[in-house]
Chain A
Amino acid sequence: MTDNLQLNAEGKLKHFLTIEGLDKSLLTEILDTAESFAGVSEHQVKKVPLLRGKTIVNLFFENSTRTRTTFELAATRLSADVINMNIATSATSKGESLLDTIRNLEAMFVDMFVVRHALSGAAHFIAQQTAPHISVINAGDGQHAHPTQAMLDMFTIRQIKPDFASLRVAIIGDILHSRVARSEIQALNTLGAAEVRVIAPKTLLPAHVESLGVTVSHNLTEGLKDIDVVMMLRLQKERMSSALLPSESEYFKCFGLTEEKLKIAKPDAIVMHPGPINRGVEIDSKVADGPQSVILKQVSNGIAVRMAVMAMAMQKQGVTA
C-alpha cells in the first residue's frame, strides 16, 4: 500500500502528506532544496520571488503557534500571500463540515492549503477532495503524520551528522499518540539510519510498534547506550487523566532526560525536541538549554524546510526552486 496521491505523473511532489511512499532521492531533494533556502533568512531582504502571486491558506483546525508561524514565515519569504484560518475557533464550530470549509476556500482561488487537523487522515481527505490545481501540505493530522517536522529534523541532523548510515537514533516518550514519531521513524528508515530505537512505557507504545521498523526499549538508561541522536517527545498532560501514566514526576523519574542520563548516550550525541517543551516533565532545563541541545536550531531550520516543500509542491505550476 503506497501513497501515490502525493506524487504527480512525473513522480514529483504534488502534495506533502506523509513520508511513507517517498523514496530516499526525493527526501534528499527536499533537504538539498532547503539547503539552498537556508541563506535567505540571513539576507537583508528576506525574500525570494518564487511564489509571487500565489495564495496559501494556513488551515489550522487545531491550535498551534510554532508550526503555523514557521509556515507563515516560509510562505512570505517565498513572496506568497498568506491567509491564516484558525478553524478551531471559527467555521466548523458553527457546524460547517470539513468539506464545506474546503469548497468555500477553493472558491476564493487559493493555490495551496497547509492543513493541521486533530484526526488522522484529514490531510489525505482534503487532498483527495480538493480541486486538482491545489496542493496540500500536511502540518500534522491526528496521530498519523507530521512530515515537515520530520524533514526539518532530518535537515538538522544532516547539518551536524551527515552520514545517516552510521546513526543510531532514540525517540523517547509518547510514541502512541505522536504523529511526529511516526514521520521521524519513516524518514530515518528511508534515509538509511543504522537503528531507530523507541523508548517508552508499554502504555505509550502502539501495538506492533516493531512493524514500523524500530527496536524497542522500556528503560531509558539501557536504551540510551550508543545513541547519536536523542529525540524527546512532548508529553501531553491529558495522558495522566486517561490512566496511561501515574504522574508527571514518576514519568520524569523514568523517562525524563537529565544531564546524568544523557551521559549514557555517545559523548557527541545531540538532543532534539519538536516543542513545545515541558521542562521538568520530559526534559530537564539543563539539557534543553545545554550544549548538546539543537532545539532552537530545529525551529530556525523549520522555515527553510517548509520553503523547500512549498516550492517543490508548486513546481507543477511552473515554479522552479
Chain B
Amino acid sequence: MMLRIDQGRIIDPANNIDRIGSVYIEGGKIVSVTEEPVGFKPDTVIDASHQIVCPGFIDLSARLRDMGHSRKATFKSEVLAAATAGVTTLCLQPDTVPVIDTPAVVELIKELAEKAGYPQIYAVGALTQKLEGTELSSMLSLKQAGCIAVGNANQPVKNLLILRRAMEYAASHDLLLMFRSNDFWLGNNGCAHEGAVATRYGLPSIPEAAETIALAQCLELAELTGCRVHFGQLSCKRSVIKIHQAKKYGLKVSADVAIHQLHLTENDMTPFDSAYHVLPPLRTEEDKRYLRKGLADSTLNSICSDHQPHDLDAKLGAFPETEPGMSALETLLPLMLKLVTQHAITLEQGIACLSANPARVLRLQSGALTPGFSADVCVFDPELDWQVNAENWKSQGVNTPFWGQTLKGRVTHTLQAGKIIHRL
C-alpha cells in the first residue's frame, strides 16, 4: 500500500524542514519526504496543495472516559474526536474508573483502543494504588503491560516520604513521572483562581501557591531521586519561573501547558458558567502572558489538550458542585494557530509543541516525518473557518466554552501508521 501526500507545505520541526513538497508513505511508514523514491506507484494520492503537512499530534494528557464513565464518553466517540483533531497518539491519565493500577486495566484499555480502531493510546499508570497516595503501585508490571509513564492525575500523595519512595522506585525502572502539581490542603476544595473574580463571586478559591509549592517539592525530590519528571498542565507565572530555574540548574525535567490556559483567564468567566470550571483554575492575564512566554523560550515544551469530556449533568448545577474540565481535543489545532496569529509563538514552534517535543518527553520514535518512522501525519488547512457546533463536533462531551464560536484552522486528513483515520 503506497500513499503520497501531494504538494503541501511540509513542516517537520524535528528534521528542520519547512518547504513545499510531497510525503511518500509505504507499509504504514514514512519512506521519503520531498524526494520521490524510485518506482513509487501510489495507490492513494492526497492533494495537500495550500495546506500544511506535519507530524500527527501527540497529546500528553487526555481522558477518554469509557469503562465506568461511559455515560460521559466512550473510546469510540473520543478517538473520532482525536482523529478529527489531527491527534495520532495520546496519553490516558490514570484516573479512569477503574484506576489504571493493574496490568489488567492496561490490557482492557489496549483492547478498547484496538476495538475503536485507534491503537496509539498509551496508558499512564497510577503512581500509587488506586491513586490513594499511600501505597506504591506495581510500577514494573504496569510498565511491562505497556504503561508509558506513571502519574498522580491530580490526586494528592499522602506525604513527601511516600512521594520520594515512589519516585525512587519509578527511577529504578526508568519510568517517567507525569506529575500534576497541586497541594491538596492549600487547594482547599476550591474551584476558581484566588483573585478578584473569585472574591467577587464568593467562589472557594485556589492560590497559585497550591501549584508552586507542590512543584517546588517535586523538583527537590527529582534531584534527590534522579527520577525523570514531566510537569503537566502548569497554570501560573511562578511555575514557569520555577521550571526555567530548574532547567538552568541542570535538572532533567520538562513541562506542558493545557491549551485553554494560553487563551482564557479568570476575566473570561461568565458568571457561574460551569464551562469555565477547570483545574487548575483559569488564572490572570499576567499568568497567561508568562505561560505563552514559557512556550516561546522552550521552558514549556509541549501543549496538551487536557481533554475531559463530560455528560450534561456533570456541568448542570451551582458552579462549585459541577465537575471540572473541558472537552478540548477538537479545539486544539485552531487555538494553537491562534497563538501563531497573535505572535506568541511561531508556527514551527506550535507544531513542535504538539509533535516532536511530546515525542521526546515520552521517548517515542514518533512526532517527526523521518523516513522509517510510523506514518502519523496531520494535514490541515490553516485558513479554513469552522463553527463549533453539533454538526461539526465529534466528542460526546460538549463542555467547551468555545461552543458556537467560529475558529480558524481545520484538519483535513489524519493518518495513523499510514491509515487514513480522518478525512474531512
Residues of chain A whose beta carbon lies under 8 Å from any beta carbon of chain B:
1, 3, 5, 20, 97-99, 117, 119-122, 124-125, 129, 141-145, 179, 182, 206-209, 211-212
Contacts and interface: CB of A to CB of B under 8 A. Distances in A.
Nearest to A207: B194
A99 B316 contact: yes
A126 to B, nearest CB: 9
Given A207-B194, A208-B196, A98 B202 contact: no
Given A179-B202, A182-B200, A208 B195 contact: yes
Contact of A20 (B200, B320, B321): B200
25 contacts: A3-B271, A97-B313, A98-B318, A99-B316, A119-B318, A119-B321, A120-B319, A120-B320, A121-B320, A122-B318, A124-B271, A124-B272, A125-B319, A141-B318, A142-B203, A142-B318, A143-B203, A143-B204, A144-B201, A206-B198, A207-B198, A207-B205, A208-B195, A208-B199, A212-B199
B317 A98 contact: yes
Contacts of A209: 199
Contact of A97 (B203, B317, B320): B317
A120 B317 contact: no
Contacts of A3: 271
A78 to B, nearest CB: 28
Interface string B196-237: 101111111101000000000000000000000000000000
A5 B207 CA distance: 29
Nearest to A119: B318
B227 to A, nearest CB: 33
Lowest 10 A-B CB distances belong to which pairs? A143-B202, A121-B272, A144-B202, A119-B318, A122-B318, A211-B196, A206-B199, A121-B319, A120-B202, A208-B196
A120 B203 contact: yes
A3 B203 CA distance: 16
Nearest to B197: A1
A4 to B, nearest CB: 10
B271 A1 contact: yes
B270 interface: yes
Contacts of B271: 1, 3, 5, 121, 124
Interface in B158-200: 194-196, 198-200
B199 A207 contact: yes
A212 B199 CA distance: 8
Interface string B305-321: 00000000100111111
A121 B205 CA distance: 14
B317 to A, nearest CB: 6
Most buried by B among A5, A99, A120, A143: A120
Contacts of A206: 198-199, 205
Identify the interface centre among A1, A182, A212: most chain B CB within 10 Å of its CB. Answer: A1
A124 B274 CA distance: 12
Contacts of A98: 317-318
Contact of B202 (A5, A125, A182, A207): A182
Nearest to A177: B202
B202 to A, nearest CB: 3
A176 to B, nearest CB: 9
Nearest to A120: B202
A62 B399 CA distance: 29
Given A1-B270, A97-B313, A207-B207, A119 B199 contact: no
Contact of B317 (A125, A144, A179, A211): A125
A143 B189 CA distance: 14
Contact of B195 (A97, A119, A207): A207
Contacts of A20: 200
Nearest to A209: B199
Contacts of A97: 313, 316-317
A141 B203 CA distance: 10
B147 to A, nearest CB: 36
A70 B270 CA distance: 32
Given A121-B271, A207-B194, A99 B317 contact: yes
Contacts of B267: 1
A1 B269 CA distance: 9
Contacts of A207: 194-196, 198-199, 205, 207
Contacts of B316: 97, 99, 125, 129
A5 B273 CA distance: 13
A51 B270 CA distance: 33
A211 B196 CA distance: 6
Contacts of A1: 267, 269-271
Contacts of A144: 201-203
A145 B202 contact: yes
A221 B271 CA distance: 37
Contacts of A141: 202, 318
A120 B313 contact: no
A125 B195 contact: no
A304 B72 CA distance: 48
Given A1-B270, A121-B271, A121-B272, A211 B320 contact: no
Nearest to B320: A119
Contacts of B270: 1
A165 to B, nearest CB: 24
B402 to A, nearest CB: 18
Nearest to B192: A120
Contacts of B195: 207-208
A310 B205 CA distance: 33
Contacts of A120: 201-204, 272, 318-320
Contacts of B201: 120-121, 144
A321 B126 CA distance: 63
A113 B272 CA distance: 19
